[in-house]
Amino acid sequence: MVHEVRSSVRAWWVAAATMAALVAAAGFRSSTGALLEPLEHEFGWSRGITSGAASLNLVLYGLTAPFAAALMERFGVRRVAGAALALISLGSGLTLVMTQPWQLWLLWGIPVGMGTGAMALVFGAIIANRWFYRRRGVVTGLFSAASSTGQLIFLPVIAQLAHGPGWRWAAGVVAVFALLLVPVVLLVLRDHPSDVGQIPYGAPASYVEPPVVRDGPGPARVAVTTLRQVSRSWTFWALFLTFWVCGWSTNGLIGTHFIPAAHDHGMPETTSANLLALVGIFDIVGTIASGWLTDKVDSRYLLFGYYFLRGLSLLVVPVLLGPNVEPSLFVFIVFYGLDWVATVPPTVALCRAHFGLERSGVVFGWVFASHMVGAGVAASYAGWIRQGTGDYFIAWMTAGVMCLLAALMCLSIPRVRAAPGDALERVGQETPQI
């Protein structure tokens, strides 16, 4: 009994440290929008330069994510998480002394982009799978909400500091917080419960830890091989392209440009930052509700509804923005929060149904990469539109139309009737070839 209690306590401490690390990683990634205008005012940089740096951050974040598992398998979860937090702290801290645009691109891109990418959803999934036998779904849900929590905690603080003492204080807060978490992660995290003589939370006393498989292809090779296999399937490309649009219309456009766009319409930056943080609250609710619906409704129809309604909402954004928070704008914020990552549960379900349980995680890793690359492209595109035309109108219209097209594309995904575990062998048979 005492051993079981110790295992339970340690598992939840590990979960708490993981959640804190994920929040820190999400904090900087969600705060770049609040730093665009302060950087432009001090250095005279254009919107194209600052949004381009944000784009590089998002792209490297997305491209690192599919290989994060390979890094953790080779070097250990504890070491990779500690190094990732140190990279985030280094990248954010060095911005305090930068003077040239290339330095912003370098710092926001490589150390921060790759640092946050190494701590994407796969980090939380590995910790949940290794340390929890029971409550694994609850813990995974908490880790998934870390991005929203980071946005909720950091955005108002970042905006207040950037508007008051200056953007350097804002960047410094992120750097210090990430750095302080490095020793916490190194002290609390362990790669496996067996490293400290324990078993996963809720596991029976007879539990035997699965052996580490060292034969066969490495994780990175598996990721590339899986991509080559599933790339023959229309279902994969439908999910890939629709999630590209998802990233374009969330992290890329709203996450990066909502604050400066609202400021163009006379709204104070602190107010728009608080609204964006409010999105994070409803994001948590929307994700849980979408997961519940995914168990009951055809995932293709859920995605159709999410993208269709998101597209309509983006088409009316220019009319809603103004100096004050009107009821119509508040409704938009609530809806967008509920819809922000509601696309994740049905997308994951379709990956599992069409490509099998064993490799659905790798497939979703590539689909998730498309999400962040799409976000990166959108961040630059919207910045160029703003720089060239003086407003974001074309950017809003482009995103709205893309979401409507993505909604129709979801309906082109075929229904799977056989058992999900057998779906991998059916790739190229039940799904149209391209």
In a domain, 273, yes or no: yes
In a domain, 209, yes or no: no
Question: pLDDT class for 417, splitting at 50, 70, 90?
Answer: low
The larger pLDDT score, comparing residue 24 to residue 184, is at 184
In a domain, 211, yes or no: no
Give backbone dihedrals phi and psi of 132, rounded to 5 degrees, phi first: -130, 125
Q: Does residue 140 surpass a pLDDT of 80?
A: no
Q: What was the pLDDT predicted at 412? A: 93
Domain limit, last residue, from 196, 231, 256: 196
In a domain, 214, yes or no: no
In a domain, 328, yes or no: yes
Q: What was the pLDDT predicted at 427? A: 41
Q: Does residue 430 surpass a pLDDT of 50?
A: no
In a domain, 57, yes or no: yes
Q: Does residue 341 surpass a pLDDT of 50?
A: yes
Q: What was the pLDDT predicted at 213? A: 55
Domain limit, last residue, from 146, 162, 196: 196
% of the chain surpassing 90 pLDDT? 18
Domain limit, last residue, from 162, 196, 230: 196
233 and 183 in a common domain: no
Enclosing domain of residue 66: 1-196
pTM of the model: 0.74
Q: Residue 186: which residues within 8 A CB-CB, separation 6 or more?
A: 78, 82
**CA distance linking residue 32 with residue 379, whole number of Å:** 11
Question: pLDDT class for 130, splitting at 50, 70, 90?
Answer: confident
Q: What's the CATH number where 412 sits?
A: 1.20.1250.20
114 and 237 in a common domain: no
The count of structural domains within the chain is 2
Burial 323-351 (b: 16+ CB within 10 A, else e): eebeeebeebbbbbbbbbbbbbbbbbbbb
224 and 185 in a common domain: no
383 and 271 in a common domain: yes
